[in-house]
Amino acid sequence: MKLISGTAHRALAERIATAVGTPLADVHVTAFPDGETFVKINENIRGSDVFIIQPSCPPTNHNIMELLIMVDAARRASAGRITAVMPFFGYARQDRKDQPRVPITAKLVANLLTSAGVARVLTMDLHAPQIQGFFDIPVDHLYAKPALIGYLRERHPDPSNLTVVSPDVGGVKMARAYSEAIGAELAIVAKHRISATRVEAMNVIGDVVGRDVLLVDDMTETAGTLCAAAEILQKEGARRVFAAVSHAVLGDLGRERILNSVIEEVITTDSVPQATGEKVRAVGIAPLLGEAIRRIADGASVTSLFEV
């Protein structure tokens, strides 16, 4: 087994290597003055089972291109099998044609990875789970829930006064999974998106009066959905508002919104380096990803990793 890290999230790759018990391979990744990426693998990987760890977080296009170049370098070095470990899969929101003359970029990224030489993809909490079908190669789709649920149970030991809330109708299935795991009630916030950065939350379906609420979503970037939902939940009588997000791809706008919102804490994973902020608590997923990598290398089942 050989573990290779790109520059997208080196700290996570080092934690995964520690969890697996295998050091990161000696790989030189740099850029020429004109911005072109150069990769050189400084050790023999002929016939090896290679895992390239690279979430496609911002800068998204750069990190995807860097991943493709690393895959090409590994393939030309006669790697036995190449697995792309993408804890966060960028472009996942562009999974269908919802307007005339627009691309399906998630499918394009799947094609690029396969054409470059990736034999398997390991990812976590895709924005649209059906993206697994865009690949003609195996996809191991993990969930952040096993990593987050332990911290959530510590934070909310008494679920009798807790309601898990989906900030939109599309996230009901995910919110239900969390509510059943914790033993809490379920509610929904119906939302209306005005633009890419602005969301107008509409009304609440379910009982939140006098209760602590936990907003659950797969990802947040500008935190517009979370903060709008939190505001209406407070207006509807919620006592305290928390949020659990698989991927917090936060920029300055998102951090500022969370800081100034009624949300007390955003619990997320360290799938991307942007998961930081004054009210943001990142839970480590290196043990989960490390165990998945070990099982893939051994040809074992990863199904039990879905269980809480």
Residues 6+ apart with CB under 8 A from 177: 145
Which neighbouring-strand residues pair with 165? 187, 215
DSSP at 52: E
For residue 303, the one-letter residue type is: T
**Short-list 259, 231, 226, 257, CA closest to 243:** 226
Largest CA distance in the chain: 61
The rounded mean pLDDT for the chain is: 93
Look at 277 and 198; give whichever has higher pLDDT. 277
Evaluate whether 87 touches 12 at the Cβ level (below 8 Å). Answer: yes
Query: Is 90 exceeded by the pLDDT of residue 20?
Result: yes
Look at 200 and 146; give whichever has higher pLDDT. 146
Per-residue pLDDT, averaged over 143-153, amounts to: 91
Contacts 24+ apart (CB under 8 A), 202-210: 202/232, 203/232, 204/165, 204/232, 204/233, 204/236, 206/163, 206/165, 207/163, 208/163, 208/165, 208/233, 208/236, 208/237, 208/238, 209/236, 209/237, 209/238, 210/161, 210/237, 210/238, 210/239
Q: Report the SS3 class of residue 42.
A: coil
Look at residue 201 in the predicted model and tell me its pLDDT. Answer: 54
Look at residue 303 in the predicted model and tell me its pLDDT. Answer: 86
Domain map (residue ranges) of the chain = 2-142+286-306, 145-283
Query: Is 70 exceeded by the pLDDT of residue 23?
Result: yes
pTM above 0.85, yes or no: yes
* Distance in angstroms (rounded) separating the CA atoms of residues 126 and 157: 28
* Tokens standing for residue 144: 């952040």
**Short-list 48, 9, 8, CA closest to 25:** 48
Evaluate whether 227 touches 257 at the Cβ level (below 8 Å). Answer: yes
Domain spanning 2-142+286-306 has what CATH number? 3.40.50.2020
Query: Is 80 exceeded by the pLDDT of residue 198?
Result: no
Query: Is 90 exceeded by the pLDDT of residue 40?
Result: yes
Evaluate whether 247 touches 88 at the Cβ level (below 8 Å). Answer: yes
Look at residue 191 in the predicted model and tell me its pLDDT. Answer: 64
* Tokens standing for residue 10: 């080196």
pLDDT tens sequence across 211-254: 999 999 999 999 988 998 899 999 999 999 999 999 999 999 99
The distance in angstroms from the start CA to the end CA of the chain is: 28
* Distance in angstroms (rounded) separating the CA atoms of residues 20 and 289: 9
191 is catalytic: yes
Q: Which fold has domain 145-283?
A: Rossmann fold (3.40.50)
Look at residue 158 in the predicted model and tell me its pLDDT. Answer: 85
Phi, psi values for residue 196, rounded to 5°: -65, -25
Q: Report the SS3 class of residue 186.
A: strand
Could you check whether 2-142+286-306 and 145-283 share the same CATH topology?
A: yes
Look at residue 197 in the predicted model and tell me its pLDDT. Answer: 63
Task: Classify residue 195 by burial, with Cβ atoms within 10 Å: 0-12, 13-18, 19+.
Answer: exposed
Per-residue pLDDT, averaged over 1-5, amounts to: 98
CA 64 from chain center: how many Å? 15
Look at residue 21 in the predicted model and tell me its pLDDT. Answer: 96
Per-residue pLDDT, averaged over 150-154, amounts to: 90
pLDDT tens sequence across 89-144: 999 999 999 899 999 999 999 999 999 999 999 999 999 889 999 999 999 999 99
Query: Is 70 exceeded by the pLDDT of residue 6?
Result: yes
Query: Is 70 exceeded by the pLDDT of residue 200?
Result: no
Catalytic residue among 107, 145, 191, 279: 191
Q: How far is CA 260 from CA 23, 42, 194, 200, 265, in A?
A: 41, 47, 21, 17, 12
**Short-list 51, 74, 53, 71, CA closest to 8:** 53
